[in-house]
Structure 1
Amino acid sequence: MTELAALDYIVIAVLSLSGIIALIRGLTREVLSIIGWIAAFYGALFALPLLRDFVRGVISPDWIADGVILVVVFVAILIGFGLASKAFTDKLKKSPIGLLDRVLGLAFGIARGIVIVSFAYLILLLLLPPDDHPDWVREAKSTPVLKSATAILVRIIPFDNLSDRVPDIDDLMKTNTLKNVIDDNLPTLPSDIKENISGKLSDKEDSSGYNDKTRDLLDALIEETTE
């Protein structure tokens, strides 16, 4: 049997842990948990201007007061939403569809684990070229799978906009821009997957609109996969 590298064990551990947690909690609670984090984030941002004047009158300096508002509101919403979702899902687990909810949760957890390790691999590519990766990454049996999963992610999510939102990100990534990472280090996709993703991206563009930079990148990716 071929010996596994350290990266293989890390991938197995992340997927197993994510899957087990989701199996225990169930799909419904996992989804509600994500919604809760999003609600807490936006709730804190919404509460900041409403509470700022009052809290700044009690706490100084101003940046600490703002931080207290964000943290307290975020945690309060997260806890409240979590308690409500737990009460709902506890009843769901005792219902006839409880087992199905757990099985679907397992699938969700594994998929989430794949996304986590794929993002981690993408960050590694941005920081270090493949030739500089340690042996336990380059020789891992899971590396080709990570490349394929990461290739799908970068073709679905418009990562190219990141350099517009984070001004110095290209400097932080040295000379390894996102486009170079996509073009040089990630595999092309099978035509059927490419066409499916391209169709979804077209629907996204019609509904929300991509900028010219994003369209140029997508065109380049599609041309690459057809060569």
Structure 2
Amino acid sequence: MPTFDIIVLAILVISGGIGLYQGAVREMISAVSFMVAAIAAVYGLRFTGPFAQNLVHPEWVGTVLALVVTFILVFAGLRLLGAGISQGIRGVPVLGALDRTVGLGFGLLRAFIFLGACNLAFNAATPSSLRPAWLAESKLYPLTETAGALLKAFAPKGMDAADQLTPALTRAVLDGSVNPQRDSGDSSGYDAGARGGIDDLVEKAR
């Protein structure tokens, strides 16, 4: 068996095994928790950013810290909630078996997406004339080609959604990077007293 096929099988078995062990509910909650935590960290930055910037210097460190802490807290909270739901489902024999079976499918789907992404990256970086000959002997390379083709087909829809979210995300990050207390305390240029003091120093220096 070609080394490539062994690697692909290992990825499928490992990802499927993790899905079978954790179950569908925990797998889906993990994915949803990650997305919700990321969105909460970014959109909450307008509130957490200025607070963290007043505690930590330089201010960019405070901004990063606000993002990381918010993400961890939301992700951990949702995971704990999901763990309780998963345990309740596994307490029912029929639902527990169904949860693990669907979890296996979820794990295989995750591996399929990963292999498709690797295939797209490999094809983009390697011209067809330079691809190794052992790919022709691989039994599972067509599987990665199919996965890559499906990802490529769905990519435009994902890009459209990303384009719609980008302005809102950018606005949230910009709002969170501004410290109202700092910015309101800053003044542009010199006031009348400062200008008068500078003029006196200039006159004395003459």
Fold shared per TM-score above 0.5: yes
Q: Any gaps of 5 or more consecutive residues in structure 2?
A: 164-206
2:112 pairs with one of 108, 111, 114: 114
Which amino acid in the other structure matches residue 147 of structure 1?
E
d(CA) in 2 for partners of 1:85 and 1:161? Answer: 30
Partner of residue 54, structure 2: 57
Which amino acid in the other structure matches residue 5 of structure 1?
P
2:69 pairs with one of 64, 72, 92: 72
The 5 Å alignment of 1:87-102 reads: 87-95=84-92, 96-102=94-100
Q: Which has the higher contact order (CA 8 A, sep 6+)?
A: 2
CA contact (8 A) 1:6 1:136 kept: no
CA contact (8 A) 1:130 1:138 kept: no
Q: Any gaps of 5 or more consecutive residues in structure 1?
A: 166-227
2:22 pairs with one of 21, 25, 30: 25
d(CA) in 1 for partners of 2:7 and 2:129? Answer: 20
The answer on 1:48 being equivalent to 2:50 is no
Which amino acid in the other structure matches residue 151 of structure 2?
L
The answer on 1:148 being equivalent to 2:161 is no
CA contact (8 A) 1:44 1:74 kept: yes
Displacement of 1:123:
1.0
Q: Which has the higher helix share?
A: 2
Instruction: Describe the shift of the 1:137–1:57 C-alpha distance in structure 2 as closer, same or farther (beyond 3 A).
Output: farther
For the pair shown, the structure with the greater C-alpha radius of gyration is 2
d(CA) in 1 for partners of 2:43 and 2:158? Answer: 28
Instruction: Describe the shift of the 1:122–1:33 C-alpha distance in structure 2 as closer, same or farther (beyond 3 A).
Output: same
Instruction: Describe the shift of the 1:132–1:73 C-alpha distance in structure 2 as closer, same or farther (beyond 3 A).
Output: same
CA contact (8 A) 1:14 1:113 kept: yes
1:124 pairs with one of 118, 122, 125: 122
Partner of residue 86, structure 1: 83
1:11 pairs with one of 8, 12, 31: 8
Deviations 1:58-94 (CA, angstroms, capped at 9, x unpaired): 1111211111011111111111111110111011111
Which amino acid in the other structure matches residue 141 of structure 1?
K
Deviations 1:135-187 (CA, angstroms, capped at 9, x unpaired): 4545422112211221122112218959x97xxxxxxxxxxxxxxxxxxxxxx
Question: What is the CA RMSD across the aligned residues, in angstroms?
Answer: 2.1
CA contact (8 A) 1:6 1:137 kept: no
The answer on 1:38 being equivalent to 2:47 is no
SS in 2 for 1:97: helix
Partner of residue 200, structure 1: none
Instruction: Describe the shift of the 1:159–1:129 C-alpha distance in structure 2 as closer, same or farther (beyond 3 A).
Output: farther
